[in-house]
Amino acid sequence: MTVAVETGLWQLDPTASTVALSHKTFWGLVTVKGTFAAVGGQGEVGADGSATGTVTLDVASLDTKNAKRDTHLRSADFFDAENHPEITFAVRGAELRGGDTAHIAGQLTVRGISRPQSVTARLAAADAEALTLEAEFTVDRDQFGMGWNQMGMLRGLTTVAATLRFTRAAA
């Protein structure tokens, strides 16, 4: 699919978007999965094809289907939701490459710590009124001050999978 994304303002549709994470735990034997129920964002595509924007996750909305674990993940050992209620990804630039692939460069902020993050996304659908991006990438939680690791149970990188649907913002 070769597409040209329409210029203008775009609003993330939280009802049609998902951001999930997964991480191997218990020495790689179990994969913990969770989703963020509250996702927000917006973007702008310029006349020159440049793109900027922000995706925001409400840390308190993380759901792993285990209330005790969710409480621990929101604590200072991990996301520290009380002091850092949001995770943000600020898009600094996006470039369509080879049909339906986009290279997105931005800055990921977790627990008040910002790091550059590049993502390759697939433009899953696009027309004049809506577009859907799908991406999967890994994050090293230690880089964001989440080093808690009782008895070495947590190893490796956390995988983030996102499906983000944007609709044209009203003028």
pLDDT tens digit string along 47-73?
887 889 999 999 999 999 999 989 988
CA 60 to chain CA centroid, Å, is 15
Position 142 confidence tier, pLDDT thresholds 50, 70, 90: confident
Pick the CATH number of 8-166 from 1.10.3720.10, 3.30.110.30, 2.40.10.10, 2.40.128.110: 2.40.128.110
- pLDDT for res 156: 60
Residue 2: is its pLDDT beyond 80? Answer: no
Angle at 50 between CA 49 and CA 53, to 5 degrees: 130
- pLDDT for res 108: 96
- pLDDT for res 47: 85
3-state SS, residue 167:
strand
| Across 97-120, average pLDDT | 92
- pLDDT for res 171: 64
- pLDDT for res 153: 52
Q: Count Cα neighbours of 8 within 13 Å in the Cβ-side half-sphere.
A: 15
Could you tell me if 8 and 44 are in contact, meaning their C-beta atoms sit under 8 angstroms apart? yes
- pLDDT for res 130: 93
Residue 152: is its pLDDT beyond 70? Answer: no
Residue 128: is its pLDDT beyond 90? Answer: no
Q: Where in the chain are the domains?
A: 8-166
Residue 100: is its pLDDT beyond 70? Answer: yes
- pLDDT for res 146: 73
Average pLDDT, the chain: 87
Structure tokens belonging to residue 43: 């973007």
